[in-house]
Amino acid sequence: MGRGHVNAPIALHGYTYHAKKVCPDGSRFVYCSERKRKNCTVYGHLRPNGELSTKGEHTHEPDPDSVLIQQRRHELRELARNGSQPKSAFTQARAGLTDQDRDLLGSDDKLRSVFRRARPKDADSCVADTTPYSIQGKFAETEGGEQFLYFDSGSEDAKRMVIFASDAQLQMLSQSERITFDSSFASAPEPYGSMFTIHCEVGDRFHLAVAALFRDGPDTRTHEDYERVLAEIVKHPLLATWTPIEAHADFEEASRQAFNRFFPELKIRLCLFHHNQSLLKKVRSFEERFLNGKNTECYHRLRVLPYLDPASIERALLEIEQDAPEPCQTLIEFVRETYVGNQNSPPRFLPTEWSIYEWIVAGKPRTNESQESFHAQFNEAANADKLAVRRVRMSKIIAILKAEEENARQFCSGATIEAPFSKWSRKTAADIAIITALSSILPHLQVLDAIIDETRT
pLDDT digits (tens, 9 = 90+) for 209-220: 999 998 876 566
Phi/psi zone of residue 198: left (φ > 0), alpha (ψ -120 to 50 degrees), beta? beta
Q: Cβ-count burial of 322 within 10 angstroms (0-12 exposed, 13-18 middle, 19+ buried)?
A: exposed
Give helix 369-382 / helix 394-412 axis angle, nearest 10°: 140
pLDDT of residue 446 exceeding 90: no
Confidence of residue 103 (pLDDT cuts 50, 70, 90): low
261 pLDDT exceeds 70?
yes
Edge-first strand order for the sheet with 194-202 is 149-152, 161-164, 205-214, 194-202, 178-184, 246-249, 267-270
Q: Which residue has the higher pLDDT, 8 or 262?
A: 262
Burial class of residue 433 in the structure, from the number of CB atoms within 10 Å of its CB (0-12 exposed, 13-18 middle, 19+ buried): exposed
- Highest mean pLDDT: which range of 44-48, 108-112, 228-232, 306-310: 228-232
Per-residue pLDDT band for 231 (boundaries 50, 70, 90) equals very high
| pLDDT band at residue 76 using 50, 70 and 90 as cut-offs | low
Say if residues 202 and 442 touch (Cβ distance below 8 Å). Answer: no
> What is the band of 152 on the pLDDT scale with cuts at 50, 70, 90?
very high
Q: What is the pLDDT of residue 87?
A: 52
Quick one: pLDDT at residue 2? 37
Taking the C-alpha atoms of 315, 319, 321 and 325 in order, what is their torsion angle to the nearest 10 degrees?
Answer: -170
pLDDT at 27 > cutoff 70: yes
pLDDT surpasses 70 at 433: no
CATH hierarchy code of domain 137-270+386-412: 3.30.420
Mean pLDDT taken over the chain: 74
pLDDT value of residue 169? 93
Q: Structural domain boundaries of the chain?
A: 10-118, 137-270+386-412, 273-365+427-456
SS3 164: strand
User: Which range, 226-230, 288-292, 314-318, 385-389, has the best average confidence (pLDDT)?
Assistant: 226-230
- What pLDDT does residue 63 have? 67
304-329 average pLDDT score: 84
| Lowest pLDDT segment from 150-164, 188-202, 442-456 | 442-456
Q: Does domain 10-118 have CATH number 2.40.50.140?
A: no
Residue with more model confidence, 345 or 150: 150
- Nearest alpha carbon to residue 2 among 123, 119, 116: 119
Strands 178-184 and 246-249, by their bridges, are: parallel
Which residue would you say has higher pLDDT here, 101 or 347? Answer: 347
How many CB atoms sit inside 10 A of residue 312's CB? 20
Higher-pLDDT residue of 195 and 96 is 195
Instruction: Provide the 8-state DSSP code for 292.
Output: S
Residues 115-123 have a mean pLDDT of 52
**Percentage of the chain modeled with pLDDT above 90:** 12
**pLDDT-based confidence at residue 173 (cuts at 50, 70, 90):** very high
Please give the helix or strand (H or E) that residue 198 lies within, else none: strand 194-202
Which segments within 225-361 are labelled E, that is strand? Answer: 246-249, 267-270
Residue 352 has pLDDT above 90, yes or no: no
